[in-house]
Amino acid sequence: MKFGDLVMSVATIAVILALIAFPLDLVFVSAFGFEFGQDIGVFVAFFLSALITGYIFAGKIWEARRETIAKITVLWAALVMLVGVMVPAGLAHWGLMAEEEFKAMYPDTTLSTNSEWVSWEMMYKDSFMFLIVGIALVLGFMGLYVGSMLKRPEKSQK
């Protein structure tokens, strides 16, 4: 698979994710609430977007299957990581959520300086990136693999 095809497949995963994430979030949040519904929606959206892309690019993936799936998955995880870095900047309550989590985990400890709070928020963001990149790697690989299995290439008649 050429590099341009890899980029196109990752862009396809991203576009499909953008189109299905919100409807899936609505379904799962209404069924399970905010705590678990959005998490389930993200898991399902990541898997389905990779599955559909694996099906679409099955012919190209079958040329060098494991290597191609690995390359697409790593490039996809890198894109997810870049988006994950930007998420906290766009959410007004991210810092408040990080503070709330800290106080829940360490009720007898206080952070007294802004520098300590920034360090905690950076660690909190790093844990978020670790989680979503891990999800992207695992579910991306599984989705691409299963999707490419659904559409096997036709055997040549030579």
For the chain, the structural domain boundaries read 3-150
pLDDT reported for residue 158 = 46
Average pLDDT score over the chain: 91
CB neighbours of residue 45 within 10 Å: 22
The answer to whether 143 and 45 are in contact (CB under 8 A) is no
What does each C-alpha distance from 93 to 80, 99, 129, 146, 154 come to in angstroms? 21, 10, 17, 37, 52
pLDDT reported for residue 155 = 63
pTM, rounded to two decimals: 0.86
Q: What's the first-to-final CA gap in the chain, in angstroms?
A: 23
Rounded Cα distance, 62 and 157, in Å: 17
The answer to whether 70 and 141 are in contact (CB under 8 A) is yes
